[in-house]
Amino acid sequence: MPFGKRLLTRLICCLLLASTAISADDSAPARSWDELVKADEAAILKLRDLQAKYQTADTDGKIEILEDYQTTIADLQSNIIPALEKLLPGKLATAEQDLKVQRIASQVVQFALDDNRFSDAKTLAEQILKTNPDDPHATNIVGIAQFADHDFAGAIKTLS
């Protein structure tokens, strides 16, 4: 078989395998808001516990703790926070004064900002401000996002 045909065959196989993997992920059952909040809270408690243990651990223990810490952070960044972000707009609309929803909203907005997704951060922060117009964190996020998007006049107005 000529080189070009082998390469084309391999590319097609890779694309088919990649689309199969994506399809398998899409069929996984979505986690509920409550499950995600529990997972988020458990992860944060675990991170705090690992930080405390790290202070007194020996060198080998520190390596193990660091690996566990990084795995927990990766789970938060890859699975928990993005899933919460998808559910957040609906939750903000129905649970305006719920402090847990407000805490999660603040965390999700900060994650979007840290990930340089300024437009997403601004949109989420504006949704928070609809339910809690005095939220200083959300106000700051809107201003930062405006600045990042070169809306300097808007940023000055928001942050003044």
CA distances for 113 relative to 17, 32, 82, 144, angstroms = 33, 24, 13, 9
Provide the pLDDT for residue 26. 53
Residue 8 lies in a domain: no
Residue 4 lies in a domain: no
Residue 73 lies in a domain: yes
Confirm if 159 and 143 have CB atoms less than 8 A apart.
Answer: yes
Domain that holds residue 120: 33-159
Residue 11 lies in a domain: no
CA distances for 95 relative to 101, 131, 137, angstroms = 7, 9, 18
Tell me, what CATH number does 49's domain have? 1.25.40
Residue 18 lies in a domain: no
Residue 67 lies in a domain: yes
Count of domains forming the chain: 1
Residue 19 lies in a domain: no
Provide the pLDDT for residue 7. 39
Residue 126 lies in a domain: yes
- Tens-digit pLDDT string for the chain (160 aa): 454 444 334 434 444 444 334 444 455 568 899 999 999 999 999 999 999 999 999 999 999 999 999 999 999 999 999 999 999 998 988 877 788 999 999 999 999 999 999 999 999 999 999 988 989 999 999 999 999 999 999 999 999 9
